[in-house]
Structure 1
């Protein structure tokens, strides 16, 4: 059944946890506060003993020159199989997929955004300032990924079932210097017959572009695999025949975006 616990990690991040057992899977999430913008324990982090605050961990692990305005380093969703195999979703691995050299979206606000950063006086490095990521989750080696023609049966998800477990986690978010939004979030719901997960990267550059990279996962009770669908949608704002106000929220605009890529796969636990 559902277990709730409160913990405080070694980096002084208060973390709330919630979990549930579903068949062979243990599903849990942690939620915590925003990543600090500077080192919080300079004396400790300067010692040569591999003990670092969350900010310094991100600085060491990532190559991009800036982080999103809001990163939630301890917001993590984890699905662990009884065999020890696991799937998890975390902001650090997602940001590792942000391109460090890319033809960035050329709009006037890009330069203004760069100038607004704390280290604006330093020499600028080219990177994707929209933090676009094709992250699909982090997997242990004993999960085999196979191509398949099988798709998620959304009729099952439309059936009225009790929701045993639900949460929506924001992994990171940036308002692009008030010119839009770049957001990565993951949400999961568990019903008596199945669990369903949506990882969504949503980008809106006002009056320029709207994009979504969505990863959906679906698992039926007593089945021996997880279905994964990855879909990329994108459109120039001028090509969308909808009011600008309707482009603000992801759920309102994504149904109008044309599909650019779709990949369906099976995730199989290799015992």
Structure 2
């Protein structure tokens, strides 16, 4: 779903649409942009496999799709893309989820063979976003935050994102959802990574969600929420909450929930059923200017 406010609402909020046909807004020192492109073709998939040193990728990889939020004064950009997410999957290398039939599925790549799944075929990722600093924005030069002397520092905190305030009647100036990758697990469930962004007159909010359902076996949610309240007279602070929820079908059934996979199609509803495995909240205070970094 895509949504954009009308011109009067944007003007009242001090916002403007991005030029050159790009999707997104400029508002209170931020440039927020979404880009949605087709799935990668076989040539690009092969290039990604070579870079990631793997022979396995999700069925649908939207490699050129992305969400980017750039803080103009500091040149810090927080962005979300499939390659970095799959890099996290490869590095974490979780053991494969045990499935029925001796962990054997027929895969589209080998339709006449049964292959033993000896890798994390769910493509679960610990990814919670990427950060770069455009230290020479006028030259188009971009370096990772880790490579700059002014690297970003997320501090753990007890402050939480006020989700109740986000449910207020404040107008939505811009909303979009970007799919990064998806796999139907050979018709045995779903593995899906998406990022949604919502921009209001007072703040922006996003949800990066990895959603996994292995039918009859396991459900997993890894959510990253970020919220930034616009601040004219002080450096903006971004709150980031990472939450990992997971449960087996057997455990859910023992707690009185249905066993049938049909009951588990909406991750928003399912998140209330799944126990929390890990949760942490961090904050990032953005500097006003990074022009002195080198």
**Fold match (TM-score > 0.5):** yes
TM-score range, shorter chain: 0.7 to 0.9
- Equivalent position of 1:266 in the other structure: 283
Quick check: 1:213–1:230 contact (8 Å CA) kept in 2? yes
Q: TM-score, normalised by structure 1?
A: 0.84
Q: What is the alpha-carbon distance in structure 2 between the residues aligned to residue 206 and residue 94 of structure 1?
A: 23
Aligned equivalent of 1:94, options 85, 94, 102:
85
Q: Does 1:239 align with 2:248?
A: no
1:61-100 → structure 2 map (5 Å cutoff): 61-82=51-72, 83-99=74-90
- In the TM superposition, residue 123 of structure 1 has moved relative to its aligned partner by 9.0
- In the TM superposition, residue 124 of structure 1 has moved relative to its aligned partner by 7.0
- In the TM superposition, residue 125 of structure 1 has moved relative to its aligned partner by 7.8
Q: Deviations over 1:66-111 (max 9, x none)?
A: 1101110111000111121110000000001114654211113642
- Equivalent position of 2:227 in the other structure: 218
Q: Does 1:3 align with 2:18?
A: yes
- In the TM superposition, residue 116 of structure 1 has moved relative to its aligned partner by 3.1
Q: Does 1:201 align with 2:219?
A: no
Quick check: 2:49–2:56 contact (8 Å CA) kept in 1? no
Q: What is the alpha-carbon distance in structure 1 between the residues aligned to residue 57 and residue 67 of structure 2?
A: 21
Q: TM-score, normalised by structure 2?
A: 0.77
Q: What is the alpha-carbon distance in structure 1 between the residues aligned to residue 40 and residue 122 of structure 2?
A: 18
Q: Report the more deviating stretch, 17-26 or 118-127.
A: 118-127
Q: Does 1:20 align with 2:25?
A: yes
Q: Does 1:126 align with 2:118?
A: yes
Aligned equivalent of 1:32, options 32, 37, 47:
37
Partner of 1:94, secondary structure, is: helix
Quick check: 1:64–1:98 contact (8 Å CA) kept in 2? no
Q: What is the alpha-carbon distance in structure 2 between the residues aligned to residue 201 and residue 176 of structure 1?
A: 14
Partner of 1:170, secondary structure, is: strand
Cα distance change, pair 57–116 in 1 and its aligned pair in 2 (3 A): closer
Q: What is the alpha-carbon distance in structure 2 between the residues aligned to residue 122 and residue 157 of structure 1?
A: 48
Instruction: Output the aligned Cα RMSD.
Output: 2.2
- In the TM superposition, residue 5 of structure 1 has moved relative to its aligned partner by 4.2
Partner of 1:143, secondary structure, is: coil
- In the TM superposition, residue 121 of structure 1 has moved relative to its aligned partner by 6.8
Q: Deviations over 1:32-75 (max 9, x none)?
A: 10111x22xxxxxxxxxxxxxx3343123212321101110111
Q: What is the alpha-carbon distance in structure 2 between the residues aligned to residue 238 and residue 125 of structure 1?
A: 22
Q: What is the alpha-carbon distance in structure 1 between the residues aligned to residue 112 and residue 236 of structure 2?
A: 51
Q: Unpaired runs of 5+ in structure 2?
A: 1-15, 133-144, 146-150
Q: Deviations over 1:168-213 (max 9, x none)?
A: 1110000000000000000000001111100000000001100000
Q: What is the alpha-carbon distance in structure 2 between the residues aligned to residue 262 and residue 3 of structure 1?
A: 35
Q: Unpaired runs of 5+ in structure 1?
A: 7-16, 40-53
- In the TM superposition, residue 216 of structure 1 has moved relative to its aligned partner by 0.1
